Amino acid sequence: MMKRVLVYLLCGLYGVLAKVKAQKGNYSVPVLDVISRQLIVDANQTLLLSCRGRWDLMWTYPSGVVKDQVRVEESRCGRTSHHYCSRLVVSQSRAQNTGLFHCRYRHRPQKQSSVYVYVTDSQQPFVEHPDISPDVLYLTEKQSLVIPCRVTHPNVTTTLVKFHLQSWSPDQRNITWNSRQGFTIQSPNYFHTGPFHCQTVVNGVTHQSRMYIVHRLVTNIMKVFLNGSNPVENLKGRRLVLNCTATAELNTRVTFRWSYPGKRNNTGIISRKIQNLRTHMLFYSILTIPKLKKTDRGLYTCRVSSGKNVKKTNVTVNVYDRPFIHLKPKNGSVLEVKAGQKLYRVARLKAFPKPEVIWLKDGRVAAEQCSRYHVDENSLIIRDVAEEDAGKYTVLVRIQEHGLQQNFTLTLVVNVSPRIGEKAVLVQDPGSVPRGSRQALHCTSHGVPRPFNTWFWHPCPPRGRPAAPRA
């Protein structure tokens, strides 16, 4: 036997009937036999819903309804059997069946009619059984928070309780209550984190909902970086490992996304690791390409997102066919530099993998000869270039693991601007000499390359004026 309690008419009864009548004409959506938008059924009763339409029909119902409870009876109906009728029978209804039931057209599911059914059980005012494991909810800043403690009767009044310490009743503004949704906190803050439950009193007995644990969802990514130098260089056939690290505030959850040349072919293997520190969190995403191919060269991007917060970093990967040593002097094997130059880089060496390098000057280790010589990763650097830096420079390059060895010799010419020796000492007036006598005038000059001397003669100035300078 079926007992149905029809309660609320959301619109006026007249309005609803008028609408049903209008729809009946063309059945653009299937039509349910219940006029109200909601039904209240007692637990253990059989719930019966009928639907009619112009095409094949189907039902959807809350996840709390189990298959064993459900029977669907289909038939053709109407004066000439041109309509489709369907009856949904839910036996032994229970509190967990509470929710929205839809009747839709199978070929156009968006064309549907629905009814919200409360299955009232005085022993279980909350839809979800209080003993099931706690639900984890995430609080996001500037978004409302819903504690989904739905109830099995529209008139149930509840309070929201935090850890038996603090409780809230709906205030119609900041905290609202809806029997089909639960509590909504409009602007939650960190007070609204932790364990919560809803509570109601039915016939003098206090009932609790299941537990909800609210975490604050933080989306603050502070930094994202890839380990290693840029570019990353490797040999064909070798393994490439890139480690993308994101630091983020506590409670943040992040998503990694890699973009790289071999992504379409799925050449990479990605693994993850999380480290919870006291003040922040570290997330790692490790991309491994087991066997590099020439096509794997290119840009590798690690994109980290948390909510709307996104940070990216990238690195270029070069893949070499074989190990190599390559030296490219700027200007053949003879180099020229001006004395006094602050910094001079003697040639640029390219090699992979990282070679052992020794620079010699005139056959002796350069760095030991002068403190102005400095060897960096790919060249010899001379500070405050001086004349004595001229000479033969040899670089010995070796990559032992691949049996590669090469040496190059370069000649460095240091140009020095010409200077006249006499100008450094006081110019002495040779005084007056007898007319017709033979005089020798000296001029010493120095420079690289060797300067040319040119003599100029200036006629004597009138008496009483100093002598014109000699060139």
Ligand X SMILES: *[C@@H]1O[C@H](CO)[C@@H](O)[C@H](O)[C@H]1NC(C)=O
For ligand X, the binding residues (CB under 6 A) are 7, 22, 26, 28, 43-44, 121, 155, 171, 173-174, 227-228, 232, 241, 243, 245, 261-262, 265, 267, 273, 284, 286, 293, 295, 299, 301, 314, 330-331, 335-336, 394, 396, 407
CB of 338 to ligand X, least distance (A): 10
Tally helices (H) and strands (E) across the chain.
3, 36
For the chain, the farthest-separated pair of C-alpha atoms sits apart, in whole angstroms, at 154
Instruction: Name the residue nearer to ligand X (CB basis): 66 or 213.
Output: 66
CA pair distance 71, 67, nearest whole angstrom: 8
137 in Cβ contact with 212 (< 8 Å): yes
CB of 417 to ligand X, least distance (A): 15
- Structure tokens belonging to residue 460: 């004597």
184 in Cβ contact with 178 (< 8 Å): yes
Edge-first strand order for the sheet with 380-383 is 343-346, 380-383, 373-375
CB of 363 to ligand X, least distance (A): 8
CB of 148 to ligand X, least distance (A): 22
Query: What is the number of the residue whose Cβ is closest to ligand X?
Result: 228
Helix, strand, coil % (nearest 5) of the chain? 10, 50, 40
CB of 396 to ligand X, least distance (A): 5
CA pair distance 63, 301, nearest whole angstrom: 41
CB of 184 to ligand X, least distance (A): 13
Instruction: Name the residue nearer to ligand X (CB basis): 407 or 417.
Output: 407
What letter represents residue 98's amino acid?
Answer: T
Instruction: Name the residue nearer to ligand X (CB basis): 223 or 458.
Output: 223
Instruction: Name the residue nearer to ligand X (CB basis): 182 or 268.
Output: 268
CB of 210 to ligand X, least distance (A): 19
Instruction: Name the residue nearer to ligand X (CB basis): 22 or 443.
Output: 22
Instruction: Name the residue nearer to ligand X (CB basis): 371 or 400.
Output: 400
321 in Cβ contact with 294 (< 8 Å): yes
313 in Cβ contact with 284 (< 8 Å): no
Edge-first strand order for the sheet with 240-248 is 221-226, 240-248, 281-289, 269-276
CA pair distance 97, 148, nearest whole angstrom: 15
Instruction: Name the residue nearer to ligand X (CB basis): 24 or 419.
Output: 24
Instruction: Name the residue nearer to ligand X (CB basis): 173 or 322.
Output: 173
Beta bridge partners of 162: 166, 196
- Residues sharing a CB contact under 8 Å with residue 227, sequence separation 6 or more, in sequence order: 242, 243, 245
Give the single-character DSSP code of 252. B
Instruction: Name the residue nearer to ligand X (CB basis): 121 or 128.
Output: 121
Burial class (CB in 10 A: 0-12, 13-18, 19+), 319: buried
CA pair distance 56, 24, nearest whole angstrom: 16
CB of 317 to ligand X, least distance (A): 9
Give the end-to-end CA distance of the chain in Å, rounded to a whole number: 132
CB of 22 to ligand X, least distance (A): 4
Instruction: Name the residue nearer to ligand X (CB basis): 86 or 267.
Output: 267
Angstrom CA distances, 14 to 27, 37, 68, 104, stand at 20, 14, 38, 25
CB of 423 to ligand X, least distance (A): 27
Instruction: Name the residue nearer to ligand X (CB basis): 75 or 295.
Output: 295
Q: Hey, is 422 helix, strand or coil?
A: helix
Cis peptide preceding 449, ω within 30 of 0: yes
CB of 433 to ligand X, least distance (A): 45
